[in-house]
Structure formats: C-alpha cells, structure tokens
Structure 1
Amino acid sequence: MRRITITIIFTLLLTKTFVFGQSAKEQLSIANSAKLASRNFYDEITFSEKLGYFTIQVKIDYSSYEYIFDTGGYNTVTSKIMENANLLSLMEVEVGSSNKIKSKIKLSKVPLLQIGKAQFENVGVFNFDFSFSPVINCYTNGGLIGKSVIREAVWQIDYRKSVIRVSDNLANMPNLDKSEKIKIELDKTLNPFLKLMINGKQERFMLDFGYGGLISLTEKTASSIKPTNILTIEGEGNISANGIVREKTYVTLLKNLKIGKSELKNKVAYYSKSNNYNLIGSELTKYFIVTLNFKDEELILTPYSDTENDFETFGFNINLDGSKIYVSKLFNGLNAQKVGLLLNDEIININGRHLSELTLCDSYFNLNNILRTEKEISLRIKRGEEQKEFRIVKQKPF
C-alpha cells in the first residue's frame, strides 16, 4: 500500500496585502527567523514514524507538543499554543501549499523553543490549525518544525534506530565514515534544493520531508523523462495544510535514480498537475542515514547495506473527515477497482474488525498499517444505505 501523501509545505506569497504596513521583506524575515541558543551540545531524540512522517517532542513555554519534522515547511503553532504561550500576532499573510490552495494566516514568533538539548530563540511561526485537512491532526497536536529551525543545527535521521541526532557541530555526528556529501542550495525562503539524475536526466529537486514518499514530480519533469509504464489514480490529489484538490495523479516506474554516486533502481515516482516542485521525500531515509547540515549547504548520505522491496498496492488510498474513513484514491485497472470498490466508499470493517472499536485517528493508522503489511484483505464498506464486502489481493502493478 502506498503511503498517503500529505505535502504540507508552505509557499509564502509576497503579496501587497500587509498588516501594520510591513513589507514583503519584513514578512520573510519573520517567517525565516530562528537562532540556535545552545552551544557545545549533542543529543539523540527518539522519533515516531507515522506513515512516512517523523514526529518529535517540542517544548514551547514549558508545555510539550508532538511536531512533524519537515525540511520543506515553515514552523507552525496551533491557536491553542498561541493562547497558552501568549504569542502575539505580528501580521497576517497569505500562504499557499504545494497543491496551490491559498489561505490567510497569522505570523508570530516563539521566544524560546526547545527540542531535546537544542534551544532556539525568536522562532518565526505560522498560526495553523489544519482545519481544512483534519487527517494532519492525527499526526500532530503542534504542527511543523521547519526549515528555519533545521538550518540552525546539524541533524541526523537514523531511520532504522528511530533516532534523530542533533548538535551544533558536524564533528559530533557518527556514521560519516562511508558517507557522501551532496551540495544543496537554499532559496530565499530557505527551501533546500539539490540536483538528481532520473532516467539519465538531471533535474532540480526540493528536499521535503513533508512529503512521505520518495519521488514526486511536476508534470513538466514527468513529460521530459518520457515514462512508459504509467498508472492513473482517480480521486483526491495531494493533501495540504490548506485543503485538498480533486485531480488525477499518475504513477510511473523510474529505471534509475542517482543521488550523487548512489543509484536506486526501479523506484516509483508520482506526479500531478498541481505539483509546483520536484520533491524528494522522507522515504530517502530508508536507503540512507541522512545528515542535514544546512548551514554549510550540505546533505550527507550514508548508505544502508540493503534496500526496500518492490512497489505493491491494493489499488486504493484512504483519507478521513470529521466522522469517517473513506476511499480517497482509486488506481485505474488494479484489483480494488476490478472488484467494485468506489471512491468515497466509507470503510467500516477490515479483516473482521470494526473501525468503530477505535478512535478515528487510531483506526486510520491501524488500517494503513494493515494495508502496508498484509497481502490480502477483507473489506466491508458502506455506500449510501447499502453495505458491501470485498476481498482484495495486493499486487505488483509494474
């Protein structure tokens, strides 16, 4: 089962609508603000992996919250955190997400934010409650720890040990003996970009751990690499902080993906019309120990000795709203569609277990785990007033 895609990067839109007369440059200055206050430290922080997203504990004003570690996102706080920490609204700005949906939100600063032994001062944050994408609240009760904080320290994601290491000094990091340094570039909004080779063609990619897969392409890039095997997915497109667009998504098999001197073969890439950037996401950490040294504009990769299996799927994805879990995406021509599953079917039972036995979020994660690990499932759905049951076998579409 393909992990769901929650692309929760923000693009600050430098519009002419300001509060208190601030300029676009001043908006960006606040959004990018963060200063590492800790010195001569090293720490190891346990993270929870939730369908491709890494959540860590973040302390704000003596309270701890669960945050998504997101190399391509801005820092955020919920309205509850704003209230609890007495944070002031400095201005209102318009932001967009990777799927081009826009919204106006408040911009503030957190005086002191702590992750393990690392303390950060004057951290710019967006006030975001993810009310248009309720599934994101299953992952976090805080929001995103983003690129301005990540730039200030050295971070190492060791996926197989479920640890994120953090220090103010690269020399403190282990696992660098057999590593390779990849040059990255930070744009004015601190988005990190690097160059990869896909199917023998060099392309520019944004390193975005707010994307839970490996490779996501723009339509232009997908067209340029001339894919042959293409699957079409109907239903919802990428889920962003600002909401969801309905659009077709396409999946293709890459012959090869080269990152520096390392090569990954037969990996899938997703693309759709609304994608603004080529993305390389958090699945990268399944193949490498990833060290982020944004101060020196470096991505350091230490290969693991083995890799993941081939792409398999039941042929559908799921999402949730305030009351139910439903079929959000359907792969054309694959087993789920062949047996009669439809978009928006409400899932009420899987393998004999009623989803109502758990909370909505727990059911969502439990169902995704079953879709990831099982080879065959029995699924009961509700369609209007009618209930139907399907037996679906996982397959390798390529």
Structure 2
Amino acid sequence: MTKKTSKNRFRFILLINTLAVNLCVFSQSPKEQLAIANAAKLVSKNFYEEVPFTDKQGYIIIPVTINTHTYDYIFDTGGFNTVTSEIMKNANLLPLMEVEAGSSNKIKSKIKLSKVPSLQIGQTSFEDVGVFNFDFSVSPVINCYTNGGLIGKSVIREAVWQIDPQKSVIKISDDLSKISIPDKSEKIKIRLDKTLNPFLTLIINGKKEDFMLDFGYGGLISLTEKTASNLKMNNPLTIEGEGDISANGTVKEKTFAAKLEQLSIGKTELKNQIAYYSASNNYNLLGSELLKYFIVTLNFKDNELILSPYNDTKADFETFGFNINLNNDKIYISKIFTGLNAQKAGLLVNDEIIRINGKQGSGISNCENYFQYNNILKTEKEITIQIKRGEEQKEFHLLKNTPFN
C-alpha cells in the first residue's frame, strides 16, 4: 500500500463488492449450501512465513497455487472464495450444486459451488476449500486485478494474517505469538455471522454503527442509505452514472459522498474522511484503505482485529470530478461528480477515453491502459483528456477540485 496520502483513493478505485450472503434453495438445503461455501481447513502446523503481496490501486493481490498453477488472487475479508472456469477445468473440479449468490449491491446470479481439494498461499496449505465458479464476465475490469478470483473469509478464518503495507508482505501463522505485534497496537473485537462476514463497531459522527470489514472494497468507508440518513450527512456530493461494481455486474444509480464530522476506530480518530453511500448498499463497509493508516493483523479464530498505527490519520480529498471503467471494447467515463470541473467542462457519462495527457494505449491491453490512466489521474494536478462521443471527438483541460475544503 502506498505511503502517499489517499486523496485520490476513493476517486479512482473500483468497488469490487463481496460475493455475499443470499444462498437460496435449489436441490439442497441452505445449511448444506452454506457448509460448502464456508469450508476450508488449514493443513500447515507450527509455521510462520511471509508472502509478498502487490497493491493494485488499493486491492491486495496475493499468489495462490491450485493444482501446480499459480494465480493472482484478491485477498478479500468479506468475500467467498472463487475460481474461474479455467481453474475448474485445469484442476478437474466438479460442481457440487448450483446456488444463487448476491453481491452487496444487491445484484444476484446463479452460480456453481465446488470444492478445491488443496491450495497453497506461499507454503501455507489449505484443504477442502469451498469455492464459487465466477468468471467476472459481466464486470471485466475485475479481471484486470485477478486471473484467479477472491481468497475469502473461510480461508482467512483458519490462520493469523498480518498485512504490513510498509514492507508489502503478509505474515501468516497458525499462532499469534509467532507474529510480532508493534507497540501501541490495539485489539478490537469482531463478530462473525453465519456466512463468516466479520463485523466490528465504529463511532461515526458520534454514533455507534456496525461495519463489515471488507477488503474487497477499495475505499475506507461505504454506508447504507439508512445509516447515511440516520447520520444526517451534511452537504453531500452527488455522483451520477454507474454505482458500485460487483462480481455480478454494475447498477446504474446515484452515489453520494460526504465528509464525516468524526470517525473513530477503537481509540484512533481518522480525520477528514469521506464516506460514500447509495441505495443499493446492503452493509456499512470498512475497506482496504484501512491499510493506509495501520498494519492490520487478522485473528478471526479469536474474534479479534489488531490495528498498529504507522501513518498520519489525516486525509485529503481531491478529484477531477469523474471515474473511469472499462468493458471489452473501450475505457469510458463511468461516473460524473455533480458541480465539479468535469461536469462544468462538459464531460458526460459513457464518453470513450482516447488519451489523457497525450497517453494513448495503442499496442497494449485495455487493462494496461486502465491502470495507466488511473495512475495519471492519481498523480497529476491537471490533465488534458480527449474523448469520443458518437462520431465526434472532443478535448477538455481539467484541474483537480478539493470539494470538501
């Protein structure tokens, strides 16, 4: 995780929401379905190891080996484990049942549920791991982050994991005492629900609210519409276009952003933080941007989260006033922030991006273009963007806004 400020984090990170919680009856009972979905067994004993991870715009990418093939996986505390159809074929995995799974943006789909006999993260071995068969075909941008899928909560529950953003390593053990906990760390109680979603209580604008710890969400705070209403958010910013991107697809809806008066996680207060909310959100989420401020130790077997602060807890928020997404053919404007520079200049949702600051992605993949453009949007203070709208091409020069200052 970068040590730089997170002022662009929410602005440019896609929200890959968790495969979650609605398992519906087909030929098996919900209890039988859930038993497979939650299945995982740690095989390694008396061990400690360090596994490097890659930070891809806020998402933790780790190597996972299945049947001698190693894949890039998103480490997702709020998600179920997944495999692609290619992995199903390579590992000779058989579908055990079909279920209906919903994402936290409420889109549902019917998918196959299977088990992986054995997988490794580094040298740490797990057996009998329940997995959903997902190819992310309706959300192709997810495949820019992973060619495997999600490593989720059933595997995470089986071991102790310390995510160190300063060293870009995850320390894994079967014994908390084998992992060094920095001074001034704080233990925070978590609760696992029947689908192993981890919940904790935060104080936000003076009120206690329950949040799911979800590293499949690339920002810091996402709220349900009900929570946002109860908190009486002041002067929210309206965002038009696409809502959250999930494994099941994307909804078209308004999203809102507001500056929090107060956000406390345990004894630590995070300052100048922005919360996002929309009608489709099922849960309040605490996401992977937590790693901008803390070394995070996950000890789900003992129902605890250990936070070790290492960075300034004050954030700044800047944006050009738009988000981008991709499909199989193009990279395009997916969201427009009402009243900010992009909208004032005349950019529209669905405008196709041709180049930004002269950078045109000829000869490289859509994913490489996507990451290149996001890096420009993250690091630059002003841009020239060329777009295509129908048969017409247009050029815009934009400066960043600081809307909540």
TM-score scaled by structure 1? Answer: 0.98
Letter in structure 2 aligned against 1:25: K
Of 287-296 and 4-13, more deviation after overlay is shown by 4-13
The residue number in structure 2 matching 1:276 is 282
Q: Does 1:370 align with 2:370?
A: no
Cα pair 1:235 1:328 within 8 Å, conserved: yes
162-171 vs 66-75, which moves further:
162-171
Give runs of ≥4 in structure 1 deviating > 6 Å: none
Q: Deviations over 1:154-206 (max 9, x none)?
A: 00111122111111111111233321000000000000000000011100000
2:306 to 300, 303, 306: 300
- Provide the C-alpha distance between the structure 2 equivalents of 1:54 and 1:305, rounded to a whole number of angstroms: 18
> Which of 182, 204, 224 is 1:176 aligned to?
182
Paired residue for 1:37?
A: 43
Go from structure 1 to structure 2 and tell me whether the alpha carbon gap of 1:262 and 1:307 turns closer, same or farther (over 3 Å shift).
closer
Shift of 1:28: 0.2
What is the number of residues matched between the two proteins?
395
Comparing both structures, which one devotes a greater share of its residues to strand? 1
Tell me, in whole angstroms, the C-alpha distance in 2 between the residues paired with 1:378 and 1:226.
Answer: 37
What residue is the counterpart of 2:17 in the other structure? 8
Work out whether 1:224 is the aligned partner of 2:209. Answer: no
Which residue of structure 2 aligns with residue 71 of structure 1?
Answer: 77
The change in CA–CA distance for 1:127 and 1:306 in structure 2 (over 3 A counts) is same
What is the SS of the residue equivalent to 1:161?
coil
1:120 aligned counterpart, secondary structure: strand
- Counterpart for residue 126 of structure 1: 132
Contact 1:234/1:249 (8 A) holds in 2: yes
The secondary structure found in structure 1 opposite 2:216 is: coil
Shift of 1:17: 1.8
Q: What pairs up with 1:372-391 in 2 under 5 angstroms?
A: 372-391=378-397
Superposition CA RMSD, Å: 1.0
Distance 1:224 1:320 in 2: 34
- The answer as to whether partners of 2:215 and 2:287 remain within 8 angstroms in 1 is yes
Q: Deviations over 1:86-127 (max 9, x none)?
A: 001100001000111110111000000100121000000000
Unpaired segments ≥5 residues, structure 1: none
Aligned to 2:199: 193
Given that 1:12 and 1:94 are in contact with CA atoms closer than 8 Å, whether structure 2 keeps it comes out as no
Distance, in Å, in 2 between the alignment partners of 1:388 and 1:213 is 31
Counterpart of 1:203 in structure 2 is 209
Q: Deviations over 1:275-315 (max 9, x none)?
A: 00000000001011000000000000001142454011000
Residue 147 (structure 2) pairs with residue 141 (structure 1): yes
**2:52 aligned with 1:46, yes or no?**
yes
**Contact map agreement 1:236 1:247 (CA 8 A) in 2:** yes
Q: Percent identity?
A: 70
Equivalent residue of 1:212, what SS?
Answer: coil
Letter in 2 for 1:118: T
Equivalent position of 2:3 in the other structure: none
Q: Equivalents in 2 of 1:208, 1:391: separation in Å? A: 36
* In 2: Cα distance, 1:308 partner to 1:48 partner: 24
Q: Quickly say closer, same or farther: Cα 1:72–1:374, change in 2 above 3 A.
A: same
The SS at the match of 2:199 is strand
Is the contact made by 2:270 and 2:314 (CA closer than 8 Å) also made in structure 1? no
Contact 1:41-1:117 within 8 A present in 2 as well: no
Name the SS for the 1:155 alignment partner: strand
Secondary structure class of the residue paired with 1:12: coil
Where does the alignment leave 5 or more consecutive residues of structure 2 unmatched? 1-7
Match in the other structure for 1:240: 246
TM-score, scaled to structure 2: 0.96
Give the alignment of 1:315-330 within 5 angstroms: 315-330=321-336
